[in-house]
Chain A
Amino acid sequence: MKYGLCAAAAFLLAVSWPARAHHSFAAEYDSTKTVTVKGTIQKLEWVNPHAYFWVDAKDENGKITTWAFESLSPNALARQGWNRNSLKKGEEVTVEGYLAKDGKPLADGSIHANSKSVTRADGRRVFVGSSADDVATK
């Protein structure tokens, strides 16, 4: 599994400033626990209040770990030109994001995180943006 945890210098995120999501970013995600996950898209759920996508990441022994990433809301994504087909099942992606604070998996057992950016195999980035960004710029 290719992901690493590091203490990002995203220290400003520690300040509670509810972002453009409908909830406080800092109350749900840990801005000091950034992750980079390389894997394949399992599915994209075009749902409110945040779209979610699931990524299967395989480690060197072939063991697969599934991550669930929160994205922006469908209306916000739509205004940036994305839609429900912007990420295809099986597509290889690299996702940067932040771990959920409570460390609890979602009901389906996947690891819960917030996505900051999604980079495709060809280097193009889709779903760029996290509600954390609004905090990070302050």
Chain B
Amino acid sequence: MTKRELGPLALAVAVAGIVALLPVESAAQTDRDAAKSGKFGPVGPAAQKGKSKAAPSGPTPRMPDGKPDFQGVWTPGNSFMQMGQPSLQPWAEELYKQRRANLSKDDPEGHCLPSGVPRISPFPQKIIQTPTLMVILDEGNIHSYRQIHLDRDHPKDLDPLWWGDSIGKWDGDTLVVDTVGFNDKTWLNGQGMPHSEELHVIERISRPDLGHLNFDITLNDPKAFTKPHNYKRVHTLMENTDLLEYVCNEFNIDAEHLVGK
């Protein structure tokens, strides 16, 4: 490396140090700004193609029984990574710091494990709906699915689950999805936001028009948070497309090269 190249390196290290100290939300803000300015396209995730086009407009489609029809292929765009900053209990704060310091090398997603709930990957999801069951098919992070039961309550004495147990009840045109029964292995975001087995997720899902699916999410976890945390995601409809194959474990050589710092 020549001396001329060391100048930018020193600057880079200095600036990186400063930037690393900035709170997460400021990064999320610039992320949103970048998204608005179109800096992301055309490069990026599967989600980009859906995001780069304006969401189709039209009235909310309805099922034969009059309930809103959530079916379609949806992309979270950049909202997949935005969850704000819950107020954490000390042990959770410490764990979160450690995971960030390790540059998220132990993120379960990097090891082809499920994202859990309500975290999602940047890849599209497909929703299939019946009067008694809603199914969310995930293209990634692993090809998997989530069942939301509309015709029963939670079973008693659930064993810890990666996806928890989800039930849904209609509140007008909003489906209120209640999920409990989690393990504590998933991260709530890519930076390592922790939770405990007491996590209780409430997602209020609505489709205000043809092109948008809104998630109003409240996380309750008295063991990991000091108070409930609320945030929102907006998914947009991807037309004339379908889920593609994604088999995370096929050639995941990343796992052995995730060294962190």
Contacts and interface: CB of A to CB of B under 8 A. Distances in A.
30 contacts: A6-B5, A11-B12, A14-B19, A15-B20, A15-B27, A16-B103, A18-B104, A18-B109, A20-B44, A22-B140, A23-B109, A24-B107, A24-B190, A27-B104, A28-B254, A32-B13, A48-B249, A49-B140, A49-B246, A49-B249, A70-B254, A73-B246, A75-B140, A76-B123, A79-B46, A101-B257, A106-B253, A128-B43, A134-B40, A134-B45
Contacts of A49: 112, 140, 246-252, 254
Nearest to A29: B257
A18 B11 CA distance: 23
Interface of B: 1, 5-6, 8-9, 11-13, 15-16, 19-20, 27, 30-31, 34, 39-40, 42-49, 81, 100, 102-105, 107, 109-110, 112, 121-123, 139-141, 190-191, 241, 244-255, 257-260
Most buried by B among A8, A14, A48: A48
A124 interface: no
Contacts, number: 178
A7 B2 CA distance: 10
A10 interface: yes
A23 B246 contact: no
Interface in A5-51: 5-12, 14-18, 20-24, 26-28, 32, 45, 47-50
Contacts of A21: 254
Contact of B31 (A28, A45, A138): A138
A52 interface: yes
A46 B147 CA distance: 31
B74 to A, nearest CB: 14
Of the candidates A20, A80, A101, A102, the one having the most CB atoms from chain B within 10 angstroms of its own CB is A20
B24 to A, nearest CB: 9
A39 B259 CA distance: 28
Contacts of B247: 48-49
Interface of A: 5-12, 14-18, 20-24, 26-28, 32, 45, 47-50, 52, 70, 72-76, 78-80, 100-102, 104, 106, 112, 128-130, 133-134, 137-138
Contacts of B255: 23
Nearest to A25: B103
B190 A10 contact: no
Contacts of B107: 18, 23-24, 27
B123 A8 contact: no
A9 B8 contact: yes
Contact of B42 (A7, A23, A80, A104): A80
* A-B residue pairs, 10 tightest by C-beta: A18-B190, A7-B9, A129-B43, A23-B110, A14-B16, A11-B12, A24-B104, A20-B45, A27-B105, A75-B244
Nearest to A117: B43
A27 B259 contact: yes
Nearest to B2: A6
Given A24-B190, A100-B257, A16 B12 contact: no
